[in-house]
Amino acid sequence: MPEALLGVASVGVLYATVRRSLRRWSDQGSHPLSARGAHWAAIAGAITFALTPVATLMFRFNNPDALLVFTMLLASYFTVRATENAGRKWLVFAGVAIGFGFLTKMLQAFLVLPALVVAYWFAAPATWKKKVVDLLTALGALIVSAGWYLAAVELTPASMRPYIGGSESNSILELIMSYNGLGRITGNENGSVGSQWGTTSILRMFDGVSGGMVSWLIPAALVLAAAAIVIAVRTWRRQLPNRRARVQSPAQALPAGFPPQ
């Protein structure tokens, strides 16, 4: 039940993110897309997400990926809000959301961080000095929201706490850096169940299992990403909040070639 509810909530957050981004869309940067058009575009995106096989699978069984996706979507929505008026509060919320994602599945939550940072840097209507301060503040919020648990575990003697599952040395740092960290990209995971999930590489997205679950969306994503880049270049000098979406959405797809084993 919790995962199913997270699925419903994720669809709602995605709808809100797309709708808010597209409300101010325009080819020339002066004539916003109608509210009705933004609504139906967001509906289409939400339905596509909800009906994607990998999403329906993920949100129906007991697995932390459901919560991880939800926190990433929340961070994306908060970044949208932050870029509208360079709102530091919303960027802090995004940092907290990624921090909670870290508590859910550790370094895997950081895969979207580059996209969020680049989006805020290029889309927020603020000076570079303010952007630096805002991003550092959000980083502080991320560290606090994620680091308290790491500190609590590290400061507790191993004899007084449960064994750190997924590690070979009862170390949460090993869990972070290997099984729930770089090992998800390289495939060299201590404590992993082995290679039964297939070879770790970007080509894995096109194998028999993953290809049928999500990769059939890649051609459309590439075409839309190219269109977004063209539009962004044409309106580069204008302060358009939806420029964030054009940068963030394609950028977030790049790490998807390295799914967890």
- Which residues contact residue 132 at a Cβ distance below 8 angstroms, ignoring those fewer than 6 apart? none
pLDDT at 58 over 50: yes
Across 73-206, where does the E strand assignment appear?
none
Q: Helix, strand or coil for residue 261?
A: coil
20, two tokens: 């808010």
Rounded distance between C-alpha atoms, residue 195 and residue 244, angstroms: 37
Say which residue the tokens 């680049």 belong to. Answer: 118
For residues 179 and 65, which has the higher predicted lDDT (pLDDT)? 65
Amino acid type, 88: R
pTM greater than 0.85: no
Tell me the per-residue pLDDT of 103-123, one tens digit each, with 9 for 90 and over.
999 888 998 999 999 999 988
- Evaluate whether residue 221 is within a structural domain: yes
Amino acid type, 29: G
Tell me the per-residue pLDDT of 15-50, one tens digit each, with 9 for 90 and over.
999 998 887 654 435 445 677 888 888 999 999 999
Give the pLDDT of residue 30: 43
Give the pLDDT of residue 24: 60
Q: Among 2-16, 180-194, 221-235, which stretch is predicted with the lowest mean pLDDT?
A: 180-194
Amino acid type, 42: A
Give the pLDDT of residue 3: 93
Q: Among 71-75, 190-194, 217-221, 257-261, which stretch is predicted with the lowest mean pLDDT?
A: 257-261
Q: What is the C-alpha R_g of the chain?
A: 19
Q: Indicate the DSSP class of residue 198.
A: -
Q: Among 33-42, 196-205, 249-258, which stretch is predicted with the lowest mean pLDDT?
A: 249-258
Rounded distance between C-alpha atoms, residue 1 and residue 232, angstroms: 41
251, two tokens: 């950028």
**In this structure, are residues 16 and 79 in contact, taking their beta carbons and an 8 Å threshold?**
no
- Evaluate whether residue 219 is within a structural domain: yes
Rounded distance between C-alpha atoms, residue 213 and residue 72, angstroms: 20
- Evaluate whether residue 30 is within a structural domain: yes
Give the pLDDT of residue 168: 82
Average pLDDT, the chain: 81
pLDDT at 6 over 50: yes
pLDDT at 172 over 70: yes
Give the pLDDT of residue 26: 46
Region 202-223 average pLDDT: 73
Rounded distance between C-alpha atoms, residue 244 and residue 122, angstroms: 7
Give the pLDDT of residue 256: 47
**In this structure, are residues 79 and 68 in contact, taking their beta carbons and an 8 Å threshold?**
no
Give the pLDDT of residue 43: 94
- Evaluate whether residue 201 is within a structural domain: yes
Tell me the per-residue pLDDT of 140-155, one tens digit each, with 9 for 90 and over.
999 999 999 999 998 9
Beta carbons within 10 angstroms of residue 2's beta carbon: 10
Region 182-187 average pLDDT: 65
Rounded distance between C-alpha atoms, residue 82 and residue 75, angstroms: 10
- Evaluate whether residue 185 is within a structural domain: no
Rounded distance between C-alpha atoms, residue 231 and residue 117, angstroms: 20
Number of structural domains (the chain) is 1
Domain range for 119 is 2-155+193-257
For residues 204 and 57, which has the higher predicted lDDT (pLDDT)? 57
- Evaluate whether residue 181 is within a structural domain: no
Q: Helix, strand or coil for residue 208?
A: helix
Which uninterrupted H or E stretch holds 57? helix 53-58
Which uninterrupted H or E stretch holds 90? helix 88-105
- Evaluate whether residue 178 is within a structural domain: no
Q: Which of 112, 119, 120, 73 is nearest to 255 (CA)?
A: 112
pLDDT at 62 over 80: yes
- Evaluate whether residue 237 is within a structural domain: yes
